[in-house]
Amino acid sequence: MNGEEREVPPARPSRAASDMERVGFLTRISDGKEFSLGFGSMRVGRERRADLVIADKTVSRHHADIIYESGRYVLYDHSTNGTWVNGNLVAVAQPLRERDKVKFGKIEFVFSTKSVPKSQAAGLRQVTEPERVSGSSTAIMRGGRGKGRTVRRIKRAGIVLLVLVIAAVVVYFALPEVANSVISRLPQPLQDLLSR
């Protein structure tokens, strides 16, 4: 300011935004432990095949999937006890936002993202070993029903229908006299249709 030149200290090197990636994490509320979601698909559930194993009876064997798609994390519910985001029951799919509270059964997590160097993010792309999370509760949660129960009911109904159709075909061809007796009791339009 008085004619002296001041030397400007060199700026600290900063990572360019292109050298960083945002990675999703779930942080268990009870103890603060973090679980990286990586950039693919993470299966959450009670079974050993899950990427994030939660050993709690309120958690379904295959409770949910969290999938990185189109630059965001989307939670897909597959449970019978329900998955909740910020206190709202997830019907089928729910995009996750920063600081969302996610509840699998009675076990709560907070979703967040962090900027990490691309070199470090590459190591988070696949979960190599399932994480085991011990739960503190064993009571079955009452309330919401996930889409898993509906899917099972549809599958069962389809199997029952298939068995009935197979039985009808067997009776029709193997026991023609029984088939004719049954057909004769049907309404006329159905009799005409089956006699062709």
Of the candidates 6, 10, 36, 2, the one whose C-alpha atom is nearest the C-alpha of residue 22 is 36
**Amino acid 29: pLDDT:** 94
Query: The domain containing residue 96 runs over which residues?
Result: 17-145
Residue that finishes a domain, picked among 145, 162, 178:
145
Mean pLDDT across 73-100: 95
Write the CB contacts of 145 (distance below 8 Å, at least 6 apart in sequence): 80, 82
Q: Is residue 74 part of a domain?
A: yes
Does 46 lie in the same domain as 22? yes
**Amino acid 151: pLDDT:** 64
State the CATH number of the domain containing residue 128: 2.60.200.20
Token pair 């189109």 is found at 70
- Tens-place pLDDT, residues 41-77: 899 999 988 889 999 999 999 999 999 998 899 999 9
Does 71 lie in the same domain as 154? no
DSSP string, 53-79: EEE-TTS-TT-EEEEEETTEEEEEE--
Does 25 lie in the same domain as 96? yes
DSSP state of 190: H
Does 135 lie in the same domain as 178? no
Does 185 lie in the same domain as 124? no
Does 121 lie in the same domain as 176? no
108 burial via Cβ count (<10 Å: 0-12, 13-18, 19+): middle
SS3 48: coil
Mean pLDDT across 165-188: 84
Q: Is residue 46 part of a domain?
A: yes
Residue 21 exposure: Cα atoms within 13 Å on the Cβ side:
18
Angle, helix 176-184 to helix 147-174, in steps of 10 degrees: 110
Q: Is residue 35 part of a domain?
A: yes
Q: How confident is the model at residue 144 (pLDDT cuts 50, 70, 90)?
A: very low
Q: Is residue 9 part of a domain?
A: no
| pLDDT surpassing 80 at residue 88 | yes
The stretches of the chain forming alpha helices (DSSP H) are: 118-123, 147-174, 176-184, 188-195
Of the candidates 74, 71, 108, the one whose C-alpha atom is nearest the C-alpha of residue 91 is 74
Q: Is residue 121 part of a domain?
A: yes
Does 97 lie in the same domain as 36? yes
Of the candidates 51, 4, 46, the one whose C-alpha atom is nearest the C-alpha of residue 24 is 51
Number of separate domains in the chain? 2
| pLDDT surpassing 60 at residue 92 | yes
Q: Is residue 119 part of a domain?
A: yes
Does 188 lie in the same domain as 103? no
